[in-house]
Structures are given as structure tokens and as C-alpha cells.
Chains A and B, each alone.
Chain A
Amino acid sequence: MDGYRSRRCRVAGTPGDSNTATFVDSRPALSIRHLLVALFALPALYLDFLAYESGSVWIALGLLIVIGLGIYVYLSDRVEAYRYLFPGLFGFGLFIIFPLVYTVFVSVTRYSSSHLLPYERALSLLEQETFPSGEVSYNYKLFRQDSGSFVLFLEDDKDSSHRFVSEPLDLKPGKESNLSEPPAKLSRLNADTMPPGKALEFAQVVREKLYIPLRGRQFILPDGAVVGAEGLQKCGSRQRLWQMNADGSLTNLRDGSKVRPNFKQGYFVNDKGDQVGVGFQSFSGLENYTQILTDSRIQGPFLRIFIWTVVFSALSVFGGLCIGMFLSVLLEWKDLRFRKVYRTLLILPYAVPSLLSILIFKGLFSQDFGAVNEFLRALHLFTPDWETNPWGARAMILLVNLWLGYPYMMLVCTGMLQSVPSTIYEASALDGSNPVKDFFHLTLPLVFPPLIPILVASFAFNFNNFTLVYLLTGGGPRMIGGGIAGETDLLVTYTFNLAFRDSGTNYGLASAIATLLFCIVGTLAWINLRLSARTIKI
């Protein structure tokens, strides 16, 4: 059978050569393939058109290139392999490569809670700022609609024929309204008609705290004049505060002062150099990176966390390997009974979703009622503070990670051990060797080299073991004088906290650390590929 196959093979030559081309030529001009491509391409092109319509030119252009590539790949016969790769690579590009590029981009910008908006949005906020001009003052009333929204009714307090009503407003009691919202339109109301809905008394407006969302809102009259709430009972006409100048600066119409955007600092400054208004995102060069290296508030915690990350990963890999190797050697002992049962039970920590196990251990290690300390107390042993003592917390994380990690190593080692020919032990048995000697002199030297890539990969995995640390300790206990840093933080949880914990949102700095992290782990992956290149050919 084998001979038959290989003979046919020789006749056929390699697949994908000129033989296939003759098949292609004999196909009809319009095939099912063309129809399928059209089926995907036409809706995609329509989407692209929609994106272009909505003003995102760059995204539309990017999508257009992708669609063009797709059509080329599926219609041309020259890049057949890419037909199989295209869908995967598309998803990979969108959700792996784009986030990576985006992160590197953010790392060279000033982007944090005090520099949150893009420049255009910060500018439009200033544009919407107004001040009371005192020209006209209105009495107002709110009308509640059946849908839960409100309508604002205004009446000029000197001339009651000037009456206006707003479009329905969405007012959340007690919540400040979003300042960047565009002004709501007011339309003229005839003298004898009343707005729809149920009028609210002034006391009701105060009690339901509706004046709070109303305070920041602005309204625009049919003639373009702006009106806003003034105090609790009145609305007054308002005037824009800033006048845009051709050179990009803005003039304050109230006091005549001038501000201009400072793209280096990331905010608007007046003549004295003080900040005016909100900050905006701006290019900062390598500032975030130099901050990591030189700013003592960041450098100190960063170094400590870096060292702990390395130690944690190394100990996790080494410990897991020792336990896993020991167990797999034991379970390879053919004379031992119940081997299958043991193996199944010992794999359990790998089979249970790790998130659940981690949270279970959080309960077991709880300082007050946790099972671990209860057990130690019953034995009259030392009970560590797993949550508040830095060393206790570190020990807990390592113990839990060993528990979680050894089954994987056991599976890998078992696979390796089974590939070792049993004949090599026969010779040494004649020499009167013992199992321990056999293991260190015969088995380990054979098994270890192919294990190296797996160990490096496992190191990289633990280097970024976010879920474990985040759910078990949250990085705590806090590092004294380290700001947001915790004693058990890994670089990846530290970065996450920098970016997302409410107190110090700093996307720029977090992205810079993320980029460094990627460089470290990427290098590890590269080394790993070089190491495994000997055993695995690409």
C-alpha cells in the first residue's frame, strides 16, 4: 500500500504546481467562487461606504484596503495559501496587532485623567462655555412628560409675550449633566397655549434635585441667543465666553485676556502660563519612558515589582516542574496499583476553571475563618497573615500557583517520559543501579533539552499571570510609599491598576510599561523559538 502511494506521488510531483493550473483554466468564467466573493464583498463595501459617510475617513480607507486584499486573495490563483489564512489574519490584525500598535502610540502621548479628551473635544468644550450677559431674564417651569423626560418652558419676566418651549430633555435627578452636550433647541410658543405634560412646582424641582442637571444645560433660542439656568428660579440670556482667533488663540470676551493651546504641556495656558480649562491629549515623546527610569515615585515600585515578577515566574516554573516531574516518574512505575485513578485525580487542578480555584483559595487562605489557618491553629503551629503581611501574601500566591501549575508540567513530563526507550534502563539495572541514580543520570539528560521551550513558555505565561494575582490579592498589601503599587503586584497587574483603578488613571504611563512588558515577553518568545528550532522544524 505504501509503495503504491509513493509511486503515485512521484508521478504527481509536488501539489500546487502547474498541474492545478490546467484545472483552473478549464473552469467557467463565472463560478460559485465569484458569487461567494461577491456575497461577502458587496455588504462589506456598503459598510465601508457607511463608515466613510459617518466621517471616519481613515477607518474607511483601512477597511477598503482589507476588502481589496480579500477580493484579490480569493479571486487570484497566485496566492492560494492566503485563502486559508485570510480570515484568521484579519481577526488577528484587528484584535492583536491593532491594540499593540495603539498601545505603543498611546505610550508616547500624554493621556491620563487630567488629559482625557482629544484636542478638538477640549476646544469645543471651551467654545460652549458662556457667561451671563444679563440682557434678558426668564422665569422657567419644568413640565414632566409621560415618557419620563422633561420640557422646559421659559417666559420673559418683563414681556410675557416672549414664551419659549424646549424639545424633550433627559434630566437625571441629582446628576450633573454632561458639559459637552450640545445646547437644546427652544421654539416660540403662542401666548394662549401651554406646553404638554404636567407642570412641576418650584418646591418639587428642588426636592427631586432636578436643578442639578438643569444647571449645566444650555438652550438656544430661535434667533441663536443662548440661555442658561441662573440660580434656582431664573434663566438668563448668556453669551459665549471665548472668541476664536485666526492664529488658534482664544480671547476671553469678559476680561479680554488671551489663552492659547500649549501642545507640549497638553492644556490651554494664559499669558501668565497658568492652565485654563481641561487638559487634552498631546504628544509627549519618550517622557513616559524616562519617567519610569528616573521618577523616584515610579522607579522604586517599578524595580521592586519587576524583581518580584521575575522571582515569582522562576519559582513557579521550577516548583511546578519539580512536583510535576516527580509525580510523572512515580506514575510511570508499571508495578504501582491505581495509577489511572491517581492520574485522573492529580489532573483535577488543571481541569477545573482556574478562576474558580483561585477564588476558592482566596476563601481557604482568609486570615479569620480560612481553613488553612484553622488547620494550622489546630496543630498549634504558626499562623501567617496571608493577607496583610507581604511575605505571607507572596507565599500564598506561590503555593496557589504551584497547586494550579503542576498538572500541566505532569502532563508534559509524562509525554516526554513515554518517549524514552525502556531499553536504556536494562543496561544500568545489570550494573546494580537504583531508580534515583537512573533518573538523574539517564532520564533527566534525555528529557530536559526538549523541555526547555516549554519551560520558557511557562515562564512567559507566569510573567503575565494576571488572573491569579488580581483575583487572589489584587496586588495587595499596598507598598508603603508606593502609591498604587502593591507588594504582590506583577508588572501586568500594576499596569492594569495604573490604567484602570479610579484614583490614578494614567493611560500614557500604563501603555509605556505595557510596551516594555511586551518587549521582555516578546524576547522570551523569540529565544524560545530559537531554542525549539533544533527540535521542531518550521
Chain B
Amino acid sequence: MKPQTKLRLRKTLAHACLISIVVVVLVPFVMVAVASLRKGEFPPSVLWLSPDQLSLEHWKFVLGIPYRELVNAATGETRVIQASPSPVLWLWNSVLVSGCSSLGIILLSGTAAYAFARMRFRFRASLLRTLLILQMFPAVLSLVAYYVILDYIGQHFHFIGLNTIPGLIAIYLAGISVNIWMIKGYFETIPASMEESARIDGASQFQTFVRILLPISAPIFAVVFVLSFIYTMSEYPVASVVLQTTDTWTLAVGANSFLYEQQKLWGRFAALAVLGGLPITVVFLLCQRFVASGISSGAVKE
């Protein structure tokens, strides 16, 4: 075989491989989008619809718009259906929870990472290791304790107790140690000389941190924000125990509630999944370069 035909063969093979994997990746998403537009409650299973199967009922339900549903085909009897509370509220709750906790995580782990990266103090190394090892205790197994803590706090302050969004955010804020490692790793790649010269010019330690180090480190904060945002957005077990009434639910709890054992409301689930999943996915893909560099610099997936 000539080297050129060999190369062309290899390229074709590579494309075939990549395309088949891309198909496996894309098909589920296309099916969900289609299922959200399909009349009736069918699990995602088809890639196209005939016009008579098309219906916007699931989207109307998820967006909280009232619509008429045929109850009895013989008499033509209909009833008005409107979701209460509207599932859009769950999306809003999720964005609120994820946004606040990701911001808080950046704040807490950023300051802590600064101390670990730039200062020398007692217990520094052992504290770093302890943080990472203790974080390995899965949150699911702490649920009984979370329940006890939030119940106690809630007896004094209702706004941060059980079944409240601030209560859930408070729990998520504790997941900082992996992020501390990540940000610390980034800080250490930045030479300290600039901060040192600022110190000589009379800046305090805090000023050098805020004015000099923070602006240069924006990319790593973007990575931490996006990763914690996605993680908290998908977090199910803690949210399902802390949030008990439908008006406080997050997207994760709400989406799973459509799929209970006796009746699986696939259409509604699909519409909610597209509505909630699309914006996050787009944001992630936009920050892809940052995230990829953050991950490959030794980060750990949560």
C-alpha cells in the first residue's frame, strides 16, 4: 500500500470512530427534545415525529401556562390544566441555590487557598491533607446529621432551617476542600514577586491579595464557579431531604418527581430537562477552554 492511501484510510477510520461515538452521545439528547414535543407521556425513544403527534402541552405545563386537556374522547369533555407551582420556579430555585453556593464557595475557598499558597503557618500541610481526606465522607451519609442541625437552627431562625433554600446553600458551602486544592495549585503557578514588591510599597497583605492576585486568577475562579454550579445543580440526595414542599424544590428534585414508580410523566420530565439542561450546557461549552485547563491541571471531579 502507498503511504498516502494508508494515511487516507487511517483518517477515514478515525472519522468513522469519532462520528459513531458522537452519534451515541447525541441521540439521547435529540430523543429527549423530541419526547418533550410528543403528545402523551412516552419515554424518549424516537428521533422524529409526524405532525399529528406534535403537541406543546408539556412545554405549557412546565412553563406554567394553562391549557385544555381532553378528558373524555366520546363526549369531548375537557379540563384546564395548570401546574402549581410552575416548574419554572424549580429552575429559579436551582439557579438561586447553585449561584449563591458557587459564589460562596469561591469566596471561602479562594481566601483559604490564598493562605495555603502564600503564607507559612503551623499545621499548614496537615490541615490541607485533613481537609481533603475528611471531604471524602459522602454527603449522603451525613443526611441524618444535616437533618438534626438544620432542624435545630430552624427552631431559632426559620429562614435557614429545614425546608428552606438558605439551609441547603449552607450545606453546599461546606464542600470547599477540593476547590481549595484547585485554586491553591493555580496561585502557586503565579510568581509571588509582584505581590512582594507591592508589599514593599506599603500595601497590606490583604490589599495584595485583592488588588494583585485576584485579578490575575479570574480564569481559575471561572472554572470553580462553573464546576460547583453544575455539581450543585445535579445534587439530588441532600436537596430531596432538606426541601420538603414543592415550592422550595430544586430542578433535580422536581425533575425526579415526574418519574415516580406508578406513573412516569416522561413528556413533562423531558420538557423540564431541556429547559433546565440547555442553558447550563451552553454556559459550560462557552467556558470549555477554561474548564479543560482547570481540570487538566490536576483537579478532581466532585
Contact = CB atoms under 8 A, between A and B. Distances in A.
Contacts of A356: 234, 255, 273, 276-277
27 contacts: A9-B193, A15-B195, A15-B199, A16-B205, A47-B156, A81-B120, A84-B112, A95-B170, A96-B137, A99-B146, A330-B17, A333-B14, A342-B18, A347-B292, A348-B281, A351-B284, A355-B234, A356-B255, A363-B264, A364-B44, A369-B42, A371-B27, A415-B292, A415-B293, A415-B296, A495-B141, A536-B298
Given A98-B149, A411-B295, A92 B196 contact: no
Nearest to A106: B144
Given A23-B204, A360-B44, A84 B111 contact: yes
A470 B236 contact: yes
B64 interface: no
Interface residues of B, number: 112
B73 interface: no
B216 interface: no
Interface in B138-153: 138, 140-146, 148-149, 152
A496 B281 contact: no
Contacts of A415: 292-293, 295-297
Interface stretch (B48-56, B79-87, B125-133): B125-133
A363 B22 contact: no
Interface in B149-194: 149, 152, 155-156, 170-171, 173-174, 176-177, 180, 185, 191-194
Nearest to B264: A363
Contacts of B137: 96, 99-100, 103, 514, 518, 521-522
Contacts of B120: 16, 81
Given A91-B108, A352-B281, A414 B135 contact: no
B194 A5 contact: yes
B14 A336 contact: yes
Nearest to A95: B174
Given A91-B170, A103-B142, A359-B256, A352 B45 contact: no
B214 interface: no
Nearest to B156: A50
B68 interface: no
A457 B177 CA distance: 14
Q: Which of B115, B118, B135 has the most chain A CB atoms inside 10 A of its CB?
A: B115
Contacts of B14: 330, 333, 336
A344 B292 CA distance: 11
Contact of B174 (A96, A510, A536): A96
Contact of B134 (A2, A100, A352, A366): A100
B293 A363 contact: no
B141 A518 contact: yes
A485 interface: no
A464 B140 contact: yes
Contacts of A371: 27, 31, 43-46
A81 B205 CA distance: 10
A467 B43 CA distance: 20
B174 A94 contact: yes
B244 interface: no
B59 interface: no
Interface stretch (A266-274, A421-429, A523-531): A523-531
Given A8-B196, A360-B273, A522 B281 contact: no
Given A374-B45, A457-B300, A467-B234, A82 B121 contact: yes
Interface in B73-126: 107-109, 111-112, 114-115, 118-121, 124-125
Given A84-B115, A85-B115, A330-B18, A353 B237 contact: no
B37 interface: no
Interface in A419-451: none
A12 interface: yes
Contacts of B220: none
B156 A95 contact: no
A370 interface: yes
- Summarize B's interface: helix, strand, loop or mixed: helix
B225 interface: no
Interface string B269-302: 1000100110011001100100111011110111
B62 interface: no
Contacts of B61: none
A117 interface: no
A81 B255 contact: no
A361 interface: yes
A196 interface: no
Q: Which of B24, B25, B129 has the most chain A CB atoms inside 10 A of its CB?
A: B25
Nearest to B42: A369
A353 B136 contact: no
Contact of A9 (B111, B127, B197, B296): B197
Given A8-B200, A15-B196, A92 B133 contact: no
Contact of B43 (A344, A357, A366): A366
Contacts of B193: 2, 5-6, 8-9
Contacts of A336: 11, 14-15
A20 B25 CA distance: 57
Contacts of B15: 336, 338
4 smallest A-B Cβ distances: which pairs? A415-B296, A95-B174, A363-B43, A99-B145
Interface string A403-420: 100001001101110100
A345 B142 contact: no
B136 A518 contact: yes
A416 B296 contact: yes
A471 B45 CA distance: 19
Contact of A88 (B35, B46, B111, B236): B111
A263 interface: no
B230 interface: yes
B195 A54 contact: no
A94 B149 contact: yes
A345 B176 contact: no
A98 to B, nearest CB: 6
Interface string A5-22: 110110110011001100
A323 B21 CA distance: 10
A466 interface: yes
A16 B119 contact: yes
A49 B24 CA distance: 60
Contact of A514 (B18, B22, B141, B180): B141
A453 B198 CA distance: 37
A371 B42 CA distance: 11
Contacts of B277: 352-353, 356
B180 A88 contact: yes
Contacts of B218: none
B144 A103 contact: yes
A1 to B, nearest CB: 10
Contacts of B221: none
Interface string A498-519: 0110000001001100100110
A359 B31 CA distance: 13
Given A11-B200, A16-B205, A466-B138, 4 more contacts: A330-B14, A411-B291, A495-B141, A525-B136
